[in-house]
Amino acid sequence: MEPGLEELMPRLLPVGDCDLAEDFDPTVPPRTPQEYLKRVQIEAARCPDVVVAQIDPRKLKKKPTVNISISGCQPAPEGYSPTLKWQQQQVANFSAVRQSLNKHRNHWRSQQLDSNVTMPKSEDEEGWKKFCLGERVYSEIDALSDNENLGIDYMKVGFPPLLSIVSRMSQATVTSVLEYLISWFGEKKFTPELGRWLYALLACLEKPLLPEAHSLIRQLARRCSQVRALEESKNEEQISALNLIICLVSR
């Protein structure tokens, strides 16, 4: 190395003249620390000052993939695959919801809950399933009894994901409830009540996502694709809801 360059780039392992055996051969494994350091110096001196990477320009012409590949997801039924424009619009709407939620979280957290709202503890899986889905969906009751009082009985139909409710949920609780609902969905049918809560919980997840959250939402997307593929009646509203969740997870 030239003296001027050596002043700008001092040696990391300065080695002075050392007594090496007359039969020193840099091509064989070193036998002493001095031989090792000398061999490193020789190899470094042989390295070119400038290295140019060989890049195949043909590979640069390939268009990058638009969405993240989720292994195990089944394709949409013929004629029900969402357009790119639709997906981009849903992602934009979802981003706006997330930003608004983060901005006003403290305000909604300070709002008093109605007297009939009792949020379960984070570890109460059965309690959260009934709270979100209602006893009617959770217990798979086809219809409400005729002798019920007028008005909405949220214990039977489930509480909606009101901002005053979800804003009170910690990230640990959001992840736990998401896990509870995905577990329930793994063996049950998709319902509007479930869809509303899944959308709200996804909007409440904070970035960067924890590994368990990554795993959960991928599992959710795969389950949505399975239900979508098995949708015999081709319910357009339900397929659209399933497409929405798959779109948000993959993008």
Other residues' Cβ atoms within 10 Å of the Cβ of residue 241 = 21
User: Which CB contacts under 8 angstroms, 24+ apart, belong to 196-202?
Assistant: 196/160, 196/161, 197/132, 197/133, 197/161, 198/245, 199/161, 199/244, 199/245, 199/248, 200/161, 200/166, 201/161, 201/166, 201/174, 201/177, 202/94, 202/178, 202/245, 202/248, 202/249
Q: Where would I find the H helices in 33-83?
A: 33-46, 57-60
Query: Is 186 part of a structural domain of the chain?
Result: yes
Q: Look at residue 64 in the predicted model and tell me its pLDDT.
A: 41
Query: Is 194 part of a structural domain of the chain?
Result: yes
Q: Look at residue 25 in the predicted model and tell me its pLDDT.
A: 79
| pTM of this structure | 0.67
Q: How far is CA 136 from CA 79, 140, 180, in A?
A: 33, 6, 17
Which CATH number goes with the domain that contains 246?
Answer: 1.20.58.1070
Residue range 145-184, pLDDT digits in tens:
444 554 577 778 788 999 999 999 999 999 999 999 999 9
Listed in sequence order, the residues at least 6 apart from 105 whose beta carbon sits closer than 8 Å to its beta carbon are: 167
pLDDT < 70 stretches in the chain: 1-19, 49, 51, 56-71, 140-151
CA pair distance 59, 76, nearest whole angstrom: 30
Query: Is 63 part of a structural domain of the chain?
Result: no
Query: Is 29 part of a structural domain of the chain?
Result: no
Q: Look at residue 235 in the predicted model and tell me its pLDDT.
A: 82
Query: Is 90 part of a structural domain of the chain?
Result: yes
Q: How many domains does the chain have?
A: 1
Q: Look at residue 67 in the predicted model and tell me its pLDDT.
A: 43
Q: Look at residue 19 in the predicted model and tell me its pLDDT.
A: 65
Q: Look at residue 205 in the predicted model and tell me its pLDDT.
A: 94
Query: Is 163 part of a structural domain of the chain?
Result: yes
Query: Is 59 part of a structural domain of the chain?
Result: no
Q: Look at residue 15 in the predicted model and tell me its pLDDT.
A: 57
Domain with 106, as residue range(s), is: 84-113+121-140+154-250
